[in-house]
Every structure is written in structure tokens, then in C-alpha cells.
């Protein structure tokens, strides 16, 4: 077991893991390699090494993970082992601030991407490590756009729209870099000089020159700044993670509603599934197997709210542990509820519709289902004998148990005893099995839970009387 070091500094906002490891080593008189090997580039850090840094610094796993780029989507951190075709710079390219990095060692995680060619603390352009450290004040429009891109990068963690905006912006920058000439708008906008040679290097990785990147971002991202200025003030506060008095009132009202249902209907946190249900809507597209994170975060938020309504004092870690989804990144809806800051209108609408669906479904005890099925590691022999010969294999047993888990607990495979199996594999398994096998697995799940009122089979398929006659 790793023992925490005597001196444990707190991570700075948006500090990369490599910088924190260096500060932790310096504070305790150790070499940096004793904390983190020097060839790590704040991405794809092995879990064992990340856990070791967290233990030495007295951090929890989620706080240590926020120091790496792994929490960002592929549109930012890049694809594959080489992290190509994203905003991330090549690992050999290092950008620093000529003002504060030289003096204090300050760095920022987003400086490893082309999204941030300026230092927002000092208001100057970044420079490549090893080049002359000339402090050049950044143009106000560049600073404004960099602030927008920072917010978009955080929003892209759980918002597909933000990911799409950053993806399209990168494609425009790449196309402009291939055709830009010697600074056609630089004098007008007071931009740094465009290095045409560096601009032409924008391919699998962005251009290595921060001044050139700043010019390309401003040329291609004017619409983002214009939309930001036109957006209402309350919308800008939400994007920055701030809450309004209306959000605070909405949170208080929702807690009052939950207290009413707890008294009249017996609502309890155990009635919350790990994947928040939504009422059927013919206009809404079907949820794809990989779209579980946003609804799981909403489930954590509802679990926190119900616990607070029952005069509890929960933490996000308690809620994620109860739902079996520890380690998921936090979000604005969870932070707003945990701190009592407020509940946004769209989040309240999502939670309200999900609560209506849970009440209409009779408030099943999902915590009991999770506890019961988590102990099941193999199918009963009576079920195995009745499976089609082509599917009676050991690996199919795990898929069948995963199918039962997702159907009965209404949770993602992340919350199951087999978190390494993606939801899309269970979805593919469901499309392959025939209706008789599907009914057999429904019956097995009911038998494992030993409670017939926990399951409802669509009338178009069969009734339990018909199942009993068919299978005995």
C-alpha cells in the first residue's frame, strides 16, 4: 500500500498531472521520476501509475483523473495510440508562457492542445519551449475567443453539440492552414505573424507554432465570438458554470416536490436506476447503446436530490457508489445539486420527466435488483440446458447475464459485475437472439429475483401463463 507523502500540495486549477507530480516531488525533496516517469504526457497514463500519484498526493481517483487529458472527448484528445486528428499537439511540441512559466513554473492542461495558444492569466501569446521567451500581449479578440474555447472544451466532456462545434472548427482551421498566405489580415487585426511553413504542417496534428494557431483560430472562429456576444446573459452564466437566483428557486421547488412523493408514495433513493428512464416519445430518437453517461449523471443527480429530501447529507461519491458507477466524471447538474447552487431549467425538465416515469412504473426497488443480480455469476443449469445449442457456451453465459442485468436493473454495463463489456455488445447480442430465447432470459431474470411483480412483459409477446405452459 502506497503511503501518502508528508507534504501534499493541492492541485491548481486546470493543472496537468506532470506539473503536479513535479511540484509534489519538489515539496518532498524527491526526484520527479519517483512520482511519475518523465515520458508521460498527461494522457493515457496507466491506472496503476495514476493511482500511485493519487495515493502519494492524498487525492481521490476522480481528482487525479481531472489532471489528465483522458477526461476530454476524442475530438479534443485525438484518436488512437498516437492521438492524431484532434486538437492535441504532437507530444514533442511543448508550449509555455514566457511570463509565468519561466517565473513560477505554471502550465495549463489545455496548453497541450491548439485550443489555447495564449495564457489567460498573463494575457500574452504562448511560445514554444526552446525559442526566445518574448512576451507579446495577445489581442483582446484572441483572448475572448480563447475563453470561449476553454468553456467549450469543458462542455464537450458531456455535450455532443460542443464536441461538434470543436470538430468543425478544427476542420476549418486545417483547411485554412493549407491555403493561408503571408498574414493577409494580420495588420488589420493586430495578429501575430503567420508562419506559412508552420501552417502547412497542420495535418494529423495541429500547427506547432502558437502564434500561427492564434491567427487561424481568430480567422475561423469569428462566428463563435459573435454568437457569444449575442447570447443572453443568463445563458452565458450557465456556460461558465454559474447559477441564477431562478435556478436556486427551481432547486428548492424540486426538493419540495420530492418530499411530497416521499411522504405520499414512499419514494426512496433505492428506487433510482443507474440509467435514468425517460417516458416513451414517438418524436424522440431511440437511445443508442453508447449514450449512457448523460442519463447516468442524471440518475446520480436524482439520487442526491431524493437523499437530500429525506434529510440526508449525501456526496456525489456516495451516490455513484450506490448506483455502481464510481469513477464517472462529474457534471454541472451534479455539482449544482451537491453545493445547493441551483438546478437549470433543462436539467429540471429531464429529472421531472424521469421522476414521472418512475412513479408511473410503480417505484421498483432497483437497489435490491442490483444487490441480487451482482452476486449471480452464472446462469442456472435449467436455463443453460434450454438455450439453443449454438449459444450454450461460457462466453455467451456472460452476455446473457449482462442482458438480464441491463433489462432488470435499467443500468449500463458500467454498473454491472462486468464493466469491461460495452453496452453495444449487449445490444448486438439482443439483436441476434430469437424471441424464444429472449423470453427464456426474461423468465430466468424473474426467477433470480424471485419476485414476479418486478417484471412486465409486453402483451404482444406473451403472458406469464403462456410462458409457463410453454416451458413448464
Partnered with residue 285 across adjacent β-strands are none
Do 455 and 442 contact (CB within 8 A), yes or no? yes
Residue listed under C-alpha cell 436455463? 383
Do 424 and 290 contact (CB within 8 A), yes or no? yes
C-alpha cell read off for 238: 450557465
Per-residue pLDDT in tens (0 to 9) along the chain, 472 residues: 578 888 888 888 888 998 999 889 988 888 888 888 888 888 888 888 888 988 898 888 878 888 999 889 999 999 888 899 999 999 999 999 998 888 888 899 999 999 999 998 888 999 999 888 888 888 888 988 998 999 899 888 888 888 989 999 999 999 999 988 765 444 444 567 788 999 999 999 999 999 999 999 988 888 886 766 655 544 444 444 567 888 888 898 999 999 999 999 999 999 999 988 765 543 334 455 446 778 888 899 999 999 999 988 888 888 999 999 888 777 888 888 888 888 888 888 889 888 988 998 888 899 999 988 888 888 888 888 777 765 545 577 888 898 999 889 988 888 888 888 888 888 888 888 888 888 988 888 888 887 444 444 443 333 444 434 444 4
| C-alpha 77, offset from chain centre | 13
- Return the biggest CA–CA distance within the chain: 84
Q: Give the separation between CA 84 and CA 90, rounded to whole angstroms.
A: 8
CA distances in angstroms from 227 to 130, 135, 147, 441, 448, listed in the order given: 37, 30, 13, 52, 55
Do 57 and 24 contact (CB within 8 A), yes or no? yes
Amino acid at each position: 500500500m502506497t503511503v501518502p507523502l508528508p507534504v501534499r500540495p493541492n492541485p491548481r486549477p486546470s493543472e496537468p498531472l506532470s506539473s503536479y507530480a513535479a511540484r509534489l516531488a519538489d515539496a518532498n525533496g524527491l526526484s520527479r521520476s519517483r512520482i511519475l516517469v518523465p515520458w508521460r504526457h498527461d494522457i493515457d497514463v496507466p491506472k496503476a501509475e495514476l493511482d500511485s500519484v493519487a495515493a502519494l498526493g492524498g487525492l481521490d481517483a476522480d481528482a487525479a483523473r481531472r489532471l489528465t487529458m483522458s477526461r476530454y472527448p476524442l475530438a479534443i484528445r485525438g484518436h488512437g495510440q498516437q492521438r492524431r486528428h484532434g486538437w492535441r499537439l504532437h507530444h514533442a511540441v511543448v508550449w509555455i508562457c514566457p511570463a509565468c512559466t519561466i517565473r513560477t513554473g505554471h502550465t495549463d492542461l489545455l496548453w497541450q492542445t491548439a485550443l489555447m495558444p495564449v495564457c489567460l492569466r498573463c494575457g500574452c501569446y504562448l511560445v514554444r519551449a526552446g525559442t526566445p521567451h518574448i512576451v507579446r500581449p495577445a489581442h483582446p479578440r484572441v483572448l475572448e475567443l480563447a475563453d470561449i474555447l476553454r468553456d467549450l472544451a469543458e462542455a464537450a466532456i458531456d455535450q455532443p453539440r460542443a464536441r461538434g462545434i470543436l470538430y468543425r472548427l478544427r476542420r476549418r482551421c486545417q483547411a485554412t492552414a493549407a491555403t493561408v498566405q503571408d498574414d493577409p489580415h494580420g495588420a488589420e487585426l493586430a495578429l501575430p505573424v503567420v508562419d506559412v511553413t508552420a501552417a502547412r504542417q497542420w495535418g494529423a496534428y495541429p500547427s506547432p507554432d502558437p502564434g500561427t494557431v492564434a491567427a487561424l483560430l481568430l480567422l475561423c472562429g469569428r462566428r463563435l465570438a459573435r454568437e457569444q456576444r449575442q447570447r443572453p446573459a443568463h445563458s452565458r452564466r450557465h456556460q461558465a458554470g454559474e447559477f441564477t437566483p431562478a435556478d436556486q428557486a427551481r432547486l428548492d421547488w424540486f426538493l419540495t416536490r420530492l418530499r411530497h412523493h416521499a411522504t405520499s408514495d414512499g419514494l426512496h433513493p433505492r428506487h433510482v436506476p443507474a440509467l435514468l428512464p425517460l417516458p416513451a416519445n414517438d418524436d424522440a430518437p431511440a437511445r443508442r447503446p453508447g449514450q449512457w453517461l448523460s442519463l447516468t449523471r442524471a440518475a446520480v443527480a436524482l439520487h442526491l436530490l431524493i437523499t437530500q429530501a429525506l434529510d440526508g447529507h449525501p456526496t456525489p461519491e456516495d451516490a455513484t457508489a450506490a448506483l455502481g458507477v464510481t469513477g464517472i466524471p462529474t457534471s454541472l447538474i451534479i455539482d449544482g445539486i451537491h453545493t445547493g447552487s441551483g438546478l437549470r431549467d433543462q436539467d429540471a425538465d429531464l429529472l421531472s420527466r424521469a421522476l414521472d416515469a418512475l412513479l408511473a412504473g410503480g417505484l421498483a426497488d432497483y437497489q435490491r435488483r442490483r444487490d441480487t443480480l451482482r452476486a449471480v455469476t452464472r446462469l442456472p443449469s435449467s436455463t443453460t440446458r434450454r438455450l439453443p445449442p449454438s449459444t450454450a457456451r461460457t462466453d455467451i453465459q456472460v452476455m446473457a447475464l449482462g442482458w438480464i442485468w441491463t433489462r432488470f436493473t435499467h443500468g449500463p454495463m458500467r454498473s454491472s459485475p462486468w464493466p469491461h463489456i460495452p453496452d453495444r455488445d449487449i445490444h448486438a447480442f439482443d439483436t441476434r437472439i430469437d424471441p424464444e430465447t429472449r423470453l427464456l432470459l426474461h423468465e430466468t431474470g424473474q426467477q433470480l429475483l424471485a419476485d414476479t411483480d418486478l417484471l412486465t412483459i409486453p402483451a404482444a409477446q406473451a403472458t406469464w401463463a403462456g410462458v409457463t405452459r410453454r416451458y413448464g
